[in-house]
């Protein structure tokens, strides 16, 4: 059996902060404007990332069975050694788990196992 672990930052929907550069709405700009934006506000010269929306990401992996660990990790971060990002029974934990259930598409990173059928 062949499997692939995919952990993917996607195009942010709410808040719009691009996670690598901490710049709002960077991933929505055309490359030339994004490159200019980066040069003004960071010490980087070019925007290399090509982030995709949730729909675009699903199209990219449509041939695979997706085993989604995203919500499992958010619900039990200690089980997956994710305590550095979110600690259980905190306000952040409760808020993230509530928002992720009503708006899966706003989660900034997905963790999927892809399995060839």
pLDDT in tens, 92-113: 899 989 988 888 887 878 899 9
Token match 């971060």: residue? 77
Q: For the whole model, what pTM was predicted?
A: 0.72
Render the burial of 32-70: b for 16+ CB within 10 Å, e for the rest: eebbebbeeeeeeeebeeebbebeebeeeeeebeeeeeb
pLDDT beyond 60 at 14? no
- Split into its structural domains, the chain has a count of 1
Which pLDDT value is given to residue 69? 94
11 — pLDDT class (breaks 50, 70, 90):
low
Domain that holds residue 88: 3-115
Q: What pLDDT digit, counting tens, does each position of 17-49 carry?
A: 777 788 888 888 899 999 999 999 999 999 988
Which pLDDT value is given to residue 113? 93
């Amino acid at each position: 059996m062949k499997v692939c672990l995919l952990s993917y930052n996607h195009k942010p929907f709410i808040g719009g902060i691009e996670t690598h550069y901490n710049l709002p709405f960077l991933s929505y700009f055309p490359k030339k404007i994004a490159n200019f934006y980066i040069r003004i506000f960071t010490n980087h010269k070019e925007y290399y990332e090509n982030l995709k929306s949730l729909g675009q990401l699903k199209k990219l992996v449509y041939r695979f069975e997706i085993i989604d660990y995203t919500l499992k990790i958010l619900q039990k971060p200690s089980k997956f050694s994710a305590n550095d990002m979110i600690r259980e029974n905190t306000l952040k934990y409760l808020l993230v788990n509530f928002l992720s259930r009503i708006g899966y598409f706003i989660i900034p990173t997905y963790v999927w196992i892809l399995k060839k059928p």
